[in-house]
Amino acid sequence: MTTTAQPVPLAEPNNRRVLVPIALIALYLVWGSTYLGLAFGLESFPPFLMNAIRFWLAAGLVFGVLLIGQRAPLPPRREALHALLVGVLTLGVGVGGVSFAQQWVSSGLAALAVAATPLWVAVFSALLTAKSTRLEWIGLVVGFSGIVLLNLDGSFSAQPEGALPLLLAPISWSFGSVLSRRLTMPRGFMAIAFELLGAALFMTVAALLLGERLTVTPTLNSVLAVVYLALFGSLIGYTSFMYLMKNVSPALATSYAYVNPVVALILGVLLLGEGRFITPTVIVASVVTLSGVVLVAYASARRAQANSH
């Protein structure tokens, strides 16, 4: 960004060769660890109140830099409303659903359920563009079969309070992500700021409606987790994701879904003792789901390459 009146886009095309790998690595590692951060945060905070604090902090930092440090002008009302909507759908309902579910479901299983995001992105992309190949649809069928199998596992079927939000979260996230490519959005980080604001507003309203409040003094681990989620999960991770959604194919932008479950499972087993949740059903369901994701990504890449010629 510059100090001129109009902030520049996230990156110029000639910088993509460097920025795309950096953004992907950030998504793979940072977002894979956010499930652990949510688990630690939930030790002291109710889910929506925790995320309200997290997103108000992140939104305040970004707006502070843009409005005070950069003296950037506010975007037109329509663009701001579009960004608020995207923030509610992705960070609000998406992250809120996962956080709510992790009160009953382990961090690793939550990450596996969210691995369906590329499948839903493919569905909404196909519905909005009416373009899809036979191989993409095969991948969708395979992937969703894995999701059904995962939800038959005892850890999910015994906890409907966790299973339903985990089904809705990637649907909302994916719809918001696809929609962000088609709406007129603010330029550069101003879009991120309003999306974070939308999430903060959504989480605050949800917390008030559910009557959430602190019942214990927050532990140091929980406080540090909320700060980590705000700075790394929200600022670095989400900025990287929205940059990728604007500059690469949806298949590549959502490829974090291959890696995040592995990172989340490893951290969950090592730091939270969640090894008992990795049952044979979970293993088979994970392989089937990720196989479908790989098929969809491969088919999407082939179609994109064919369209470029």
pLDDT of residue 306: 67
Which residues are CB-contacts of 109 (< 8 A; sequence separation ≥ 6)?
150, 153, 155, 156, 277, 282
Whole-number pLDDT of residue 304: 65
Instruction: With respect to residue 20, please indicate whether it lies within any of the assigned structural domains.
Output: yes
Instruction: For residue 182, give the 3-state DSSP assignment.
Output: coil
- Give the C-alpha separation, 294 to 284, whole Å: 15
What kind and span of H or E run contains 204? helix 189-209
pLDDT at 273: 78
| 289 falls within a domain | no
Cα–Cα nearest to 136, from 292, 306, 308, 10: 292
Mean pLDDT, residues 2-27:
64
Which two tokens mark 192? 């991120």
Tens digits of residue pLDDT in 85-140: 999 999 999 999 999 999 988 787 788 778 778 778 878 877 776 566 777 778 77
pLDDT at 63: 96
Residue 181 counted as domain residue:
yes
Q: Judge whether 299 lies within some domain.
A: no
Task: Give the confidence band of 5 by pLDDT, cuts at 50, 70, 90.
Answer: very low
- Domains contained in the chain, number: 1
HEC assignment per residue over 59-112: HHHHHHHHHHHCCCCCCCHHHHHHHHHHHHHHHHHHHHHHHHHCCCCCHHHHHH
Which residue, chain included where needed, has tokens 């690793």?
108
Residue 50 covered by a domain: yes
Residue 182 lies in a domain: yes
Asked whether residue 151 carries a pLDDT value surpassing 80, the answer given is: no
Residues 204-254: tens digit of each pLDDT: 999 999 999 998 899 999 999 999 999 999 999 988 988 888 887 776 787
pTM: 0.81
pLDDT for position 190 = 94
Buried b (16+ CB within 10 A) or exposed e, 244-277: bbebbbbbbbbbbbebbbbbbbebbbeebebeeb
pLDDT computed for residue 90 by the predictor: 94
| Residue-range definition of the domain harbouring residue 42 | 15-117+161-275
**What letter does residue 237 receive in the DSSP assignment?**
I
Q: Is residue 97 one of the residues assigned to a domain?
A: yes
pLDDT higher than 50, residue 3: no
Contact residues for 202 (Cβ-Cβ < 8 A; gap 6+):
87, 88, 91, 92, 93, 96
Report which residue type is found at 30: V
Question: Has residue 5 been placed in a domain?
Answer: no
CA neighbor of 23 nearest in space, from 265, 245, 174, 227: 245
Q: How far is CA 281 from CA 113, 157, 285, 286, in A?
A: 13, 12, 6, 8
